[in-house]
């Protein structure tokens, strides 16, 4: 019999149950930034930014990433549909 069935191997330390809280948060953040939708988030103190939109809350979290603040600081921000063809901001690099 030929060897045409490849075995799927997952390292134990890559399983979600073995990930640290920081690793889970970073994975969640990366997934949030991969959303296909686009929205414009505006805040009186921070201005306006176009970010990926999976939900209004995810858009707020993404905007907080861009602005370098906690999302609680921008609770009053408004989330609007982005203009057609608008390009989302790049995901900021976080240094831990």
pLDDT tens for each residue of the chain, 96 residues long: 555 555 555 555 556 568 898 999 999 999 999 999 999 999 999 999 999 999 999 999 999 999 999 999 999 999 999 999 999 999 998 765
Rounded to whole angstroms, what are the CA distances from 27 to 4, 33, 52, 90? Answer: 33, 10, 16, 16
Task: Establish if 12 belongs to a structural domain.
Answer: no
Structural domain containing residue 85: 36-89
Task: Establish if 70 belongs to a structural domain.
Answer: yes
Task: Establish if 62 belongs to a structural domain.
Answer: yes
Task: Establish if 42 belongs to a structural domain.
Answer: yes
């Amino acid at each position: 019999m030929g060897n045409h069935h490849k075995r799927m191997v997952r390292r134990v330390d890559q399983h979600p149950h073995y990930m640290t809280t920081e690793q889970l948060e970073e994975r969640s953040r990366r997934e949030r930034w991969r959303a296909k939708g686009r929205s414009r988030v505006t805040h009186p103190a921070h201005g306006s930014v176009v970010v990926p939109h999976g939900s209004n809350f995810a858009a707020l979290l993404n905007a907080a990433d861009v602005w370098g603040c906690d999302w609680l600081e921008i609770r009053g921000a408004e989330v609007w549909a982005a203009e057609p063809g608008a390009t989302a901001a790049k995901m900021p690099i976080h240094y831990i």
